[in-house]
Amino acid sequence: MSTAAAGTADLKAVASPPARIAGLFYLLALLFNGGLLLIRGSLVVSGDAAATASSLLAHPSRFWLGLTCYFLLIACHVVVTALFYELFRPASRTLSLVAAFFSLMGCAAGAFSTLFYSAPIVILQEAPKLGAFGTEQIQAMALMLTRLNVTASHNGSIFFGFYFLLIGSLIVKSTFLPRFLGVLMMFSGLLVLTLLYPPLAGSLRFYALIGEASLTLWLLVRGVNVERWKEQAGLRGTR
């Protein structure tokens, strides 16, 4: 078989890119993240331990719904990580693998931070039965744990900052997605990485949604250029 014929055979054997499925799970991740932020924001009263404790104890079902969003968010990110690895592997297998590593590290950090999310209500419900702490002390511990949850979440987001940078560079390197999406994702990554210096971050990190939302919508509505994806995957498969 000639080289050209072999290349054609390899090209036909390449599977279709999981673009729209990845876009769907990315959309779900964004929605679950939004739900988590809204629920957490509605329950925690910044700087007021007593009000936060009252809010948590008065709305336990809402609190546990937030935890459900937390776990579903992480699960969707794991799926997106696997699908993006497959989607961008034709552009660069090494970069795609490194990107997946950073994303999974972020997911692991997020899973760990759920401990700080669930701890406040457990303390508020169980600590009074022990009689070892006063009411104000218990309320203060609950508020402190909510702050630790936010801090742990931000630390996990730093891994996603690197992930966005790598995904952006893979898009720019690829031939099957518009390069402006890659630029937006790299911009999002830089904004998320401002969390390395919290005083600089402020509300900047929320603008990272521009890149994520743009990529998600493009994957859902337009997908990728399948022929170019298969061509790049086929060429890489023959090397």
Residue 88 parent element (H or E): helix 60-88
What is the chain's alpha carbon radius of gyration, rounded to the nearest angstrom? 22
Q: Does 230 reside within a domain?
A: no
Q: Does 52 reside within a domain?
A: yes
CA distance 126 to 163: 39
Single-letter code of the amino acid located at 76:
C
pLDDT of residue 236: 59
Q: Does 109 reside within a domain?
A: yes
Q: Does 43 reside within a domain?
A: yes
Specify the number of domains making up the chain.
1
| Cα distances (Å, whole numbers) of residue 177 to 88, 95, 145, 168, 173 | 10, 16, 42, 11, 9
pLDDT of residue 134: 77
Q: Does 66 reside within a domain?
A: yes
Q: What is the pLDDT of residues 155-198, one digit of tens each?
A: 899 999 999 999 999 999 998 999 999 999 999 999 999 888 87
Q: Does 8 reside within a domain?
A: no
Q: Does 48 reside within a domain?
A: yes
pLDDT band (50, 70, 90) for residue 206: confident
Q: What is the pLDDT of residues 87-133, one digit of tens each?
A: 999 999 999 999 999 999 999 999 999 999 998 888 888 877 766 67
**pLDDT at 3 > cutoff 50:** no
Q: What is the mean pLDDT of residues 208-237?
A: 88
Q: Does 4 reside within a domain?
A: no
For the beta carbon of residue 16, count every other beta carbon within 10 angstroms.
Answer: 11
Q: What is the pLDDT of residues 15-52, one digit of tens each?
A: 678 899 999 999 999 999 999 999 998 888 888 888 98
CA distance 23 to 75: 14
What domain range is 179 assigned to?
18-223
Indicate the SS3 state at residue 17: coil
pLDDT of residue 203: 67
